[in-house]
Amino acid sequence: MKVLFSAIAAATLLMAGPAHAVDAAAAKALAQKSGCLACHSVDAKVLGPAYKDVAAKYKGDKTAEGKLIAKVKAGGSGVWGNIPMPANSPQVKDEDIKTIVEWVLSL
């Protein structure tokens, strides 16, 4: 039992590294598919702020994820300028918005 347990733990550890990188790639692909990258890019302001700037602005803010998920769903303006972000819900699934926001905050 103990041996089996260690084998599982080792396998999980082995998967953890590459799986994380794939997550970022998958999240970016999801952002592309969901239309976010029409107005955003990772490094540069397009219509909306660069995702790296968003991550920097909310660094250390534990409430950021919830706030940003709500903002992306409903849309809105005034934080980065006067250009509004249109609502992305319901056309983008809640779980996809969560995944993309987590990725944005990790940049």
Tell me which residues touch ligand HEC (CB under 6 A).
Answer: 34-36, 38-40, 47-49, 54, 68, 71-72, 76-81, 83, 85-86, 88, 92, 97, 100-101, 104
Contact at 8 Å (CB) between 74 and 2?
Answer: no
Instruction: Write down the least CB distance from residue 38 to ligand HEC, Å.
Output: 5
Contact at 8 Å (CB) between 97 and 73?
Answer: yes
Instruction: Write down the least CB distance from residue 23 to ligand HEC, Å.
Output: 15
Cis? peptide before 18, omega within 30° of 0: no
Instruction: Write down the least CB distance from residue 62 to ligand HEC, Å.
Output: 15
Nearer to ligand HEC, 2 or 82 (CB): 82
**Residue pointed to by tokens 């409430």:** 63
Distance of CA 43 to the CA centre of its chain: 14
13 HSE (CA, 13 A, CB side): 6
Nearer to ligand HEC, 9 or 56 (CB): 56
Instruction: Write down the least CB distance from residue 21 to ligand HEC, Å.
Output: 20
